[in-house]
Amino acid sequence: MKNSENILLKDFDLVPFGSFSDTDYKEAILDGIDKARKEIDEITQNNQAPDFENTIAALDFAGQHLDRVTSAFFNINSAETNETIQNIAQEVSPLLSEFSNDITLNEALFKRVKAVYDSRETLDLNREQQVLLEKKYKGFARNGANLPEEKKARLREIDTQLSKLALTFGENILAETNKFELHITEEKDLAGLPESTIESAAQTAEEKNKEGWIFTLEYPSYIPFMKYAENRELRRQMAIAFGAKGFHSDKLDNQDNVLKIVNLRHERANLLGYKTHAHFVLEERMAKSPENVNRFLEDLLAKAKPAAEREFKQLEHFAKERDGIEQLEKWDSAYYSEKLKQQLFELDDELLKPYFKLENVIEGVFTVAKKLYGLRFVEVFDVPKYHKDVKTYQVFDEMDNFMAIFYADFHPRPGKRGGAWMTQYKGQFKKDGQNERPHVSNVCNFTKPTPSKPSLLTFNEVTTLFHEFGHGLHGMLANTTYPSLSGPSVFWDFVELPSQILENWCYEPEALELFAKHYETGETIPMVLIDKIKKAANFQEGMQTLRQLSFGILDMSWHGADPSGITDVKAHELAAFENTKLYPDVAENCMSVSFSHIFQGGYSSGYYSYKWAEVLDADAFAYFKENGIFNGEVARKFRDHILSQGGTEDPMVLYKRFRGKEPNPEALLKRAGLVK
């Protein structure tokens, strides 16, 4: 019997946080599945001949209530989880996987979809409708609709197992992150650390009812410690703890989960007629095939590796000259890189942080969005929130049309997974004459305010905020008809273009002068510091590129070949890293077991897309630079042909419509300083 008090059972626009309990999610999800099944039944039982509207469009709009509830639930499982939420996730994920299979393996439904697809040449469809039809047909064909019954049954088993394994993988990493703390009681062990970092650590200790200072594996605590702490032994302890998440041969160990995931993905791909998981995934990407991805990675590696090796030798020499370090280790990387950067450019994060008060940076990114796209952000206080730290805004365009709700959640806490991401509680679509506007969220883990200082961001945190906001703009400016083609619903190696291009504004004086103001004096960041930021932009770019490429290569090593012979996760990883290795291996550490992007998120066979999109963003930003970074005509083209179009057309077609030509990879290499 349904709980009549459960507000999630009713239709809602804003997620009514605060008006329901965590346990209400499960009932609402089960109810949403029932409603969605009935909507699917209405399509399959329709006596009229299948056509675009009664089959393809109806299918795209089916299950909207379920989508709203699950979006809220899984977003909270990432941003503010607890044991109740995690238990419900373990219960409902297999049910949602089963429901998804029930759709793609529904013969009556596929028969109708195929009938429309087979008659597509005779239909008068616009471009967006053509893309949706092809996407729906492929969604069935690529996910088992043509399989015999025994293989369909096995596909269901695999998908159920994979949904559970991904959840467990992520829960283990969050538990590992929360479990570790470096408790310092001797003041001498704080040598080198900035005052703000020390104050944050004291605040953490106080919250845990302990004396002294506590450092954790959350980024705002971990990164400054690794960058500034003079105590090499403590840096070693922190680095090993960070790299050993999920690698302790205990109940939180992810080695078995990794092997199960890759083997199940491979079996699934084989069932569907593909050589590997990567072949399956990349068929629907700009890259098209593992061979193209590997060529792309190898080409960049050939250009980046000589620069990376030169930079590493320079760092080795610097560490030896400065402190007599005979063997540079991974826990020395951030520390000596920061010291070398200070020496070469007279620049460090502590010098810059006073100019990057979080509130000012938020206003800055809003101002950039206004100058580029005419958007206006108004903070509102009547939108329900899931945590007091969350800020909410209404977004309007230059004509005062309502565009979006924007949630901003910027600080770490025990219930939030690490990293930074953009998500949506409601996507954009058009229905019944209404252009339904999206509810977009940015979630990050930035330095918290302390009793004496506001939240002051590192420059890296500033670029992260701009990056996620770029994803946000992709959602906010969406203007398509069908939900599954809207906003960031694009090829995975295209989705990073809107986010990565916006990072470029962080390096431009014209943009920095809008928001980089000293939190105490209000003084605009001096031009001399802006010049140093620009000069330091390519510092150790070869090493950074090599690092990113190593992650892409590791991803392809797991998914681009038959993994059934792999028995040792660590040994496999070492082999994959062989060609990109600079530092000695740390026996206690393993990256794969905490590589959430590919084992929990959606980046399996897709990690290369960060570098792929960098080619696009470097070329696209070069167009802005040629015409002025706030040039209205170029911004209008980017909005009209990229941000608003979602997945309504092939990404390269959209890109060429914006740029007038295909992207030139030289733009990335020049920006990175890897070619002259």
| Tokens 């429901």, located at residue | 99
The CA–CA distances, whole Å, from 21 to 5, 84, 405, 548 equal: 10, 10, 23, 41
Strand positions, DSSP E, 98-255: 182-184, 213-215
Classify 431 as helix, strand or coil: strand
User: Phi and psi (nearest 5°) for 599?
Assistant: -110, -10
Interhelix angle 290-323/333-345, nearest 10 degrees: 70
Q: Could you tell me which residues come within 8 angstroms of residue 233 by beta carbon, excluding any fewer than 6 positions away?
A: none
Q: Which long-range contacts (CB under 8 A, 24 or more apart) does 615-618 make?
A: 615/663, 615/665, 615/667, 615/668, 616/494, 616/497, 616/500, 616/501, 616/655, 616/663, 617/496, 617/497, 617/500, 617/501, 617/503, 617/504, 618/663, 618/667, 618/668, 618/670, 618/671
| Tokens 């996730």, located at residue | 89
- Can 468 be counted among the known catalytic residues? yes
Nearest to 285 by CA among 607, 674, 666: 607
Task: Residue count of the chain, please give it.
Answer: 676
User: Which of 267, 468, 496, 614 is flagged as catalytic?
Assistant: 468
Written as one string, the DSSP assignment of 548-572 is HHHHHHHHHHHHSS--TT---HHHH
Dihedral sign, Cα of residue 151, residue 156, residue 159, residue 161: negative
What is the rounded CA–CA span in Å between residue 120 and residue 110? 15
**Residue 386 near residue 77 (C-beta atoms within 8 A):** no
Residue 98 neighbours by CB distance under 10 Å? 14
Nearest to 190 by CA among 203, 201, 180: 201
Interhelix angle 290-323/541-559, nearest 10 degrees: 140
| Tokens 């620009």, located at residue | 534
What is the rounded CA–CA span in Å between residue 338 and residue 546? 18
Structure tokens, 307: 């620069």
Strands 421-426 and 429-431: unpaired
**Residue 31 near residue 2 (C-beta atoms within 8 A):** yes
Which residue numbers are catalytic?
468
